[in-house]
Structure 1
């Protein structure tokens, strides 16, 4: 027996080292595992030509990809569609002033889930995180579809958000199982698979409300049915490398629990939740200067500082978030660029329907159709990136150009008025298209900045950063809009209604009635005054939105600067497959054996 060598406190014997991977092509040096044979040959993918014949036609692979596609659709049934009609939901099972938490809690829980799923599944294996995460989302959907008051629906949405954090982590699975050169195309295929709901979700949910007995609940009913299939597919088809395969040398000596940074998990979860709560409350539920907002923001930041100190000095060999990631300039440049795209995207999802309603249309279905533009154009950009990201190369330049155009067209929205609906639609379409392109480029090249064993961590931290900064931007843009309306509504409405003949004594009553959407009870009101008030209100909103879009330009400039640090990853687009599914019928077989 060979003399054991020491790896930390664990004795490693030659006979438990995994057999070398049999290949017919040489794996590029930059893709060789850096763990001295820690991962077994059964789990390693190698070159695509070395995979058994028929591997990509196996039930395990096809079922896994189908589960990812259906999981992406679940995000729209579970969040995007209900979020589009929150006021209608509140009228049905409320009214409750806390109904905004239906969307807010989803954002909070999915942001936390990104990092936890990414990092822990890197260490412990992904299978049960994906099966368990979808099961939690299924439980949330059952709670939501049976909810008869807002607090219960909020609880359901929290569970759905956890499931969404797993669903939106599909890049971890795609990045491992398909060749690196097709990673961008694979990601775009998952995005495009949800096309009907991505593009027409707002119209679908409004049609449900108009024509189906249970109305908005059907969104959750469909999600229950969808997630039942997803859970089954992941359970029966998704068999990625297990803990024992990922840690061949340590599996018999180190408990999986010792690889979980429980203190880091607690600090990260508490810090991010508290911080995001404070940011989300600011300017909406409470003034920014209120003790509640300041206390939560400062408290969340303090907990995250403690997290950093713990990760540096106390986490040991398996920190939740290794600090060296923040020293990786290329990786940080990529995820910050992606975060800027998300800051604009989630803000447009919220602000664009408001702009349509206040400036261009009041019909519910018409609003729904126009609201489809943001998600639909974003999907177009994601699909285009899947085709072009490898062909064009020069990924730093691709990011810089696409985020510059995103910024330019978002800023151009400041030139739109109530009289230019066509211009607004065109600029929103173009901005959203480049927004989707930015997102897919970042998801494709971001993990290339780190080791293959950190793929989940790379995408998890990217997702959490995007969610955090998107929530921050949404709060900032909403506050800017609210603050400008406070001054612009009196500025544009009052002179218009006085010129139309409204008595001075009725101005306050009119402004109150205008905010409520019904001016019929205002003393001295006439059809001409009503028309003047409506037109003045449009001008007030138009000028307020202009400031919001100009503010978005500042974030876009930051995105362009961040993109200058992104890598050119042409050399990474090879035939290498990082990991391999087992239980495919081809386990431990070479290509020749499979062909025999």
Structure 2
């Protein structure tokens, strides 16, 4: 391996850094696997089935804002300080979620929790991109994904067992000891990486307009899920407001000395295609994570514990696919064919899930969701590696944060849309006198039918992804590497 860290880190210390990053990532990784299993019980306790997707989407909204904002702030103040701040924020707000007494409180606290979550799900991948060569990044990002494997296997079990025994509130309290361990390890292992020569200028205009644009879009899509309660004029007004804020954000970024999302990134075709594919891959993954447990509990009548056990194969396959994909990219130095394969597998998974009904046996639900997990897991590694390889070492922070940003935007946009599909189908089912179970089955089938369209679009776009072979050498300077890479492919 022709690797030499630009930060002159001894090879023996790399392992300790990886442990610190993995434990920090584990704090947020637990949230994804536990919440899907516990959410039906949360609804039973706090009421409000119509708000089923709100705790997921508000978390995604605030974490998405945090990804871009704190990715930029870590360039200025250093990766270590921002990462520790993210862990502390996540732990404190987890406790607040555990003490929520209403759905309104839980939604607010989940929004605050998302700020810490956005930091934790981004910074470790930025650090890996900075300290490893292009080929080795894929391998070590796969290793980071092992954290999701541990959390994905243990999370549903813990979520089900804790929910059925101690109550759903304790699924939040479990973050406390893991968070304390993460802060301790990172304090003593991780150097405070930060870029030299970065101006300490904060793009306040960009931050404000970016936050308002995303928030307006989020509220419009979420409220559209219940047109009987919220007037169409309000939803249209929010969409118009979001559009105006987006225009102002684009104008602000053109003028900013240190923009939070440089528009020049979109001139790179690898970045643009990877952004769209990350957007679609995230939506496809979450339609399984959210609606497979709901189907298992409310259609098949499984307990929270058993539905958690049923999710293990999907989530474990997701993680293993990410690790294996990283190893393949590391050995071959190529990634385009894997993107095509990823959307084919994902498409097969959602097609099979769309066939589920009240008579579907448990083993088929496990098999179908596992196929979706394999396809979704491949996307974890591919797009980070592709964009990091297409930009300079100096730009790794912003392009890595941007990929996580577009993954989250995919969730923000499509989870409310999936919720709208469910609520609309449930409402229409009343008119044709379907019972509750039949109506829920039809609703979930319609959600996966929509996912089939997304998978097909992702497959078509995959053929437009350009490929730059990954080098085994670490860039020694911050000079432009994209044009050089394109020349090699001609």
TM-score (norm 2): 0.87
Partner of 1:137: 90
Cα-to-partner distance string for 1:164-195 (whole Å, 9 max, x where unaligned): 11111121011111232111111111121343
Match in the other structure for 1:279: 221
Paired position in structure 1 for 2:482: none
Q: Residue 469 and residue 80 in structure 1: after superposition, are their counterparts in 2 closer, same or farther (change >3 A)?
A: same
1:403 maps onto 2:334 in alignment: no
Aligned to 2:465: 566
Uncovered stretches (5+) of structure 1, i.e. residues with no partner:
1-24, 26-46, 494-513, 516-536, 580-596
- Please say if residues 40 and 294 of structure 2, whose CA atoms lie closer than 8 Å, have aligned partners that are also in contact: no
Aligned to 2:488: none
User: Counterpart of 1:592?
Assistant: none
Distance 1:547 1:53, change over 3 A: closer
Q: Separation in 2 of the partners of 1:286 and 1:381?
A: 42
Q: Which residue of 2 aligns with 1:511?
A: none
Q: Which moved more, 1:97-106 or 1:344-353?
A: 97-106
**1:291 corresponds to which residue?**
233
Q: CA distance change for structure 1 residues 114 and 409 in 2, over 3 Å: closer, same or farther?
A: same
* Structure-2 residue corresponding to 1:547: 446
Q: Quote the residue 1:372 is aligned against.
A: 312
Residue aligning to 2:389: 448
The higher radius of gyration belongs to: 1
Q: Per the alignment, do residues 412 and 577 of structure 1 end up closer, same or farther by CA in structure 2, a change over 3 Å counting?
A: same
Change (3 A) 1:143 1:550: closer
User: 1:566 offset after TM fit, Å?
Assistant: 2.0
What do residues 35-80 of structure 1 show as CA deviations (whole Å, max 9, x unaligned)? xxxxxxxxxxxx625789981212xx44432222112221244454
CA distance in 2, matches of 1:283, 1:186: 40
1:517-596 maps to which residues of 2 (within 5 A)? 537-538=437-438, 540-570=439-469, 572-576=470-474
Match of 2:64 among 105, 111, 116: 111
Say whether 1:349 aligns with 2:301.
no
- Measure the CA separation in 2 of the matches of 1:159 and 1:63: 30
Q: 1:289 to 1:461 in 2, by over 3 A?
A: farther
Structure 2 gap segments, 5+ residues each? 478-490
Distance 1:409 1:106 in 2: 26
* Corresponding residue for residue 35 of structure 1: none
Structure 1 residue 385: Cα displacement: 0.8
Q: Does 1:439 align with 2:380?
A: yes
1:160 to 113, 117, 123: 113
Match of 2:149 in 1: 195
RMSD over aligned Cα, in angstroms?
2.9
**C-alpha contact (below 8 Å) 2:160/2:308 kept by paired residues:** yes
- The secondary structure found in structure 1 opposite 2:174 is helix
Cα 1:481–1:100 change in 2 (3 A) is: closer
- Give the secondary structure class of the aligned counterpart of 1:415: coil
**Residue of structure 1 in register with 2:364 after alignment:** 423
Q: 1:449 to 1:284 in 2, by over 3 A?
A: farther
User: Is the 1:353–1:367 Cα contact (8 Å) retained in structure 2?
Assistant: yes
Out of 301, 305, 320, the residue aligned to residue 243 of structure 2 is 301
SS at match of 2:354: helix
Q: How has the CA–CA distance of structure 1 residues 324 and 76 changed in structure 2, closer, same or farther, with 3 Å as cutoff?
A: closer
Post-superposition offset of 1:97:
7.4
Which of the two has greater helix per residue? 2
Pick from 39, 45, 66: which aligns with 2:19?
66
For the Cα contact (< 8 Å) 1:200–1:369, is it kept in 2?
no
* Structure 2 Cα separation of the partners of residues 142 and 419 of structure 1: 40
Aligned match of 1:586: none
The Cα shift of 1:107 comes to 1.3
TM-score, scaled relative to structure 1: 0.73
Q: Does 1:340 align with 2:280?
A: yes
Deviation at 1:139, TM superposition (A): 2.3
CA gap 1:559/1:239 in 2 versus in 1, 3 angstroms: same
Residues 127 and 72 of structure 1, relative CA distance in 2, 3 Å threshold: closer
CA contact (8 A) 1:399 1:438 kept: yes
